[in-house]
Amino acid sequence: MRKRNIFNPAVTKSVLLFLAGFVWLCVGTMLLVFAYSWLPDAPGTTSFVVYGFGVVVALLVHHLGFLKIVDKNLERILPMVGKKCLFSFITWKSYILIIVMVAMGALLRHSTFPQRYLAILYAGIGLALILSSLRYIRVFISEMRNK
């Protein structure tokens, strides 16, 4: 009987594509929830301006940054054959970047920086992550149809 390695859970590339899209979607949603929760007492005009700037930030971050990362990940995942480690949906360097970004986010959230302005950044990055996750999800659906 073959022994299963619990420290290297192997999955197909379809699972990696789904996991990447799902993680980006969940993190983006979490950031949007943070941004939204910081604006309930703000006047309607302020909320509108914050979300407007958030959308502009999102489009810039999505097109100029995240799509390049998504495309690099797709170029790495799509040629894979057989099963690969569950955690390989992103590179090890990306895990380091994630740790830095989470630490920066925690520092900003607990700083004296006004949350209504921080909401612009969180809404922008959150929406950009959600928009970028759609590419993973589209490729995942395409892979599932081709099977």
Task: Say which residues have a Cβ less than 8 Å from residue 50's Cβ, sequence separation at least 6.
Answer: 35, 39, 42, 116, 117, 119, 120, 123
Would you state the pLDDT for residue 86?
Answer: 85
Cβ proximity of 73 and 92 under 8 Å: no
Higher pLDDT, 130 or 117: 130
Collapsed DSSP state (helix, strand, coil) of residue 84: strand
Contacts with 80 (C-beta within 8 Å, 6 or more apart), sequence order: 13, 16
- 118-134: average pLDDT: 93
Distance in angstroms (rounded) separating the CA atoms of residues 52 and 47: 8
Q: What is the pTM of this model?
A: 0.86
What pLDDT, in 10s, does the model give residues 82-98?
A: 888 888 888 888 889 88
**pLDDT attached to residue 1:** 46
CA angle 21, 27, 32 (to 5 degrees): 120
pLDDT per residue as tens digits for the range 68-82: 999 999 999 999 998
- What is the DSSP annotation of 20-47? HHHHHHHHHHHHHHHHHHT-TTS-HHHH
Model confidence over 6-65: pLDDT tens digits?
667 888 999 999 999 999 999 999 999 998 888 776 666 677 777 888 899 999 999 999
pLDDT at 43: 67
What pLDDT sits at residue 87?
85
